Amino acid sequence: MRKFTILLFLSFLQIAAFAQLNIPGVPASKEYQFKESVVPVRIPFQKPPVRPQTKTNQPQPLVAGYTTSLSDTLMDKGTWQKTPTGVYVWRLALQQEQANALNIYFKNFYLNTGDRLYIYNATGTKILGAFSRLNNGPFFATGYLSGDEIIIELDSPVKYETLPFKLELLGNIKSEKNTTNNGFGGAESCEVPINCPEGANYQKQKRGIARILLLDQGTLYWCTGTLINDTKNDATPYFLTANHCGSSSSISDYNKWLFYFNFESPDCSRPAAEPSSDILVGANLLATAPTTTGSDFKLLLLKNSVPISYKPYFNGWDATGSISNSGVVIHHPEGDIKMISTYTTPVIPMDYTGTYTNPNGLYWRVVWAATQDGHGVTEGGSSGSPLFNSSGLVIGSLTGGTSDCTTPDSPDYFGRFSKSWDANGSDSTVQLKYWLDKNDANISEIPGFDPSSTQATPFFSANVQNVPIGGSVQFANLSTGPITSYHWEFEGGNPSYSNEKTPPLIYYNKPGSYKVSLNVTYPAGQDSLVRASYISVRPVIYPNPTSDGEFHILLGNYDQSKITISIYNMMGQRLNTFSPQFTNDGVSIILPHNQNGLYIIRVTNNGETHSYKVMNFHQ
């Protein structure tokens, strides 16, 4: 008879859509159908001061709600009961008026063997848990449940004198935009769900994207970010977002951040019911740079490895700073389901909210395009979302902008990944390079990593792509998967092929643009990557002649500290008023005063000196 009543109960019970690291279970109070109700403790709500919301100039994340501190004595209001099988059940109900949804933040969370913790709504129809020793730590937090009341239940083989956790905060998910919205359903009508045709080429990349419910000095915010790969391809849970997401968060706050993976519609529709997701709790801050003087990035290390059951994908990146002609952003506007917005015109390097091109600017300016299923833009909650190029590699993180459904052609600005890489300073706390290139591979791009894949993915990078005649290129093999053999081909190179995992130095002796290909074989088949016009071989100095006084000296692979440059005019006078701008493959120079004439350029590279003639002529 008891078996029948349990099954009847389960037929009406819905395990909450947000799954965390938990184990199977049903609250004992539900299994044994406790008749005694739990009287909720009312928690007064006082809205804390909130920073002004602006999308430009000084970006702010989208407010998701607020937290209320809970006293240590509150747990004394919980009640104990015992089941016929000897399980002790402790329950405490909390209620906060005008809440759209509630969640709980714990501290000193140390359950013992046999303990099971559940969080459920007032009707008991939506349940989070069972949580167990797997979740132990100095901090723990749960996903939210809709409504203004939640019940905490601990099932244990023992009746505790002192409970193995403390309640620290009650989270009140309370949208400023819509009094009935707790994130889901808040995005504007022009947004495009990720599983529409626009997202067909980004099905791997989307698995790395997560909605963030972050805590910053008592206020909750929505942001977006992504798992990011490193050169070890080892699934280290690095996570990239924007610095302005939690710019004032403390160590304690970071421990309470919630990361929602796989929060998306199963198809191209906007679902009526909130879809499921997978949650991880807590992170450590590794590196960051501000908006005004940096590229507005934040690199985190998640507290837990991402379970394979979440189907994680660690997104690859491109740190070359190359202009991308097309691509997408994948994001959670207004804390809603995962969306995709598309750009089909080249991104422009410039300063934040700038209007003029600046090759050394810290941001990409992006304008979105209308597509088959809408005209995706960005909104509050999109902050920190990754900008992808057409190869599916991350090239930036969203800072802000002015696009919305009423002005979809207004620009947005993304902190450039290439600037976040190492341009904010040499310290590990202000750059990505230290963390994402632990192998010291000195490479500028890397593919994503799928820890659950049984296939191989060929990928490679070159230390330089523009080389002088007679120069050499070192290729890095970044392929992943169970590879058994490799075959390289180097058009225009010497040697022209290699079957080694890492090929030798390849020399190029004739000017032109050349393709490089890599074929890999693995137990289930083979795959190839062909990169057309990947290597460009040019004269050492170009353009020559020049008409505007500007030219480029191609150095290939070089050490800037070992380079000296001298410029002389036709009279043999040395010119001292020029400012060389070093790039990844050489140096750009603008002649002083832009005067017509012949100039002698003397370049010393690693103790070896060469002289070149440059003609400047303009009308």
pLDDT at 162 over 70: yes
The predicted pLDDT at position 239 comes to 98
Kindly indicate the confidence band of residue 458, based on its pLDDT and cuts at 50, 70 and 90.
very high
pLDDT at 51 over 80: no
Q: Give the count of alpha carbons within 13 A of 601, CB side only.
A: 27
387-413: average pLDDT: 97
- Contact call for residues 319 and 267 (beta carbons, < 8 A): no
Q: Give the count of alpha carbons within 13 A of 488, CB side only.
A: 26
The predicted pLDDT at position 266 comes to 97
pLDDT, tens only, 578-615: 778 888 778 888 887 778 889 999 888 878 888 889 99
The predicted model scores a pTM of 0.84
Domain with CATH 2.60.40.10 in the chain: 453-538, 541-616
The predicted pLDDT at position 11 comes to 38
| Catalytic member of 216, 296, 336, 412 | 296
Active site residue 383: yes
pLDDT, tens only, 94-107: 999 888 999 999 99
Active site residue 296: yes
- Angstrom distance (rounded) from CA 151 to CA 139: 19
The residue type found at 8 is: L
| Residue 313 neighbours by CB distance under 10 Å | 24
pLDDT at 53 over 60: no
| Catalytic member of 244, 331, 375, 552 | 244
pLDDT at 205 over 50: yes
Domain with CATH 2.40.10.10 in the chain: 197-435
The predicted pLDDT at position 571 comes to 86
Highest average pLDDT, of 35-39, 496-500, 594-598, comes from 496-500
| Residue 34 neighbours by CB distance under 10 Å | 17
| Catalytic member of 249, 382, 383, 461 | 383
Residue 184 is classified by DSSP as T
Kindly give, in sequence order, each residue whose CB lies less than 8 Å from that of residue 76, ignoring residues fewer than 6 positions away.
none
The predicted pLDDT at position 577 comes to 67
- Angstrom distance (rounded) from CA 58 to CA 50: 14
The predicted pLDDT at position 19 comes to 61
Nearest to 214 by CA among 204, 225, 206: 225
Kindly indicate the confidence band of residue 93, based on its pLDDT and cuts at 50, 70 and 90.
very high
Fold of 541-616: Immunoglobulin-like (2.60.40)
215-244: average pLDDT: 96
Q: Strand 101-109 to strand 238-241: parallel, antiparallel, or no bridges (unpaired)?
A: unpaired
pLDDT at 10 over 90: no
pLDDT at 7 over 50: no
Kindly indicate the confidence band of residue 333, based on its pLDDT and cuts at 50, 70 and 90.
very high
The predicted pLDDT at position 587 comes to 87
444-453: average pLDDT: 93
- Enter the CATH code of domain 453-538: 2.60.40.10
Percent of the chain with pLDDT over 70: 94
Instruction: Return the HEC string of 84-98.
Output: CCCCEEEEEEEECCC
CA angle 147–264–335, rounded 5-degree value: 55
Over the Cα atoms of the chain, what is R_g? 29
Question: Hey, what are 271's tokens?
Answer: 């679902």
Question: Hey, what are 11's tokens?
Answer: 């037929």
Domain at 197-435, CATH class: mainly beta
pLDDT, tens only, 520-566: 999 999 999 999 999 998 878 888 889 888 888 888 777 888 888 89
Active site residue 244: yes
- Angstrom distance (rounded) from CA 360 to CA 357: 9
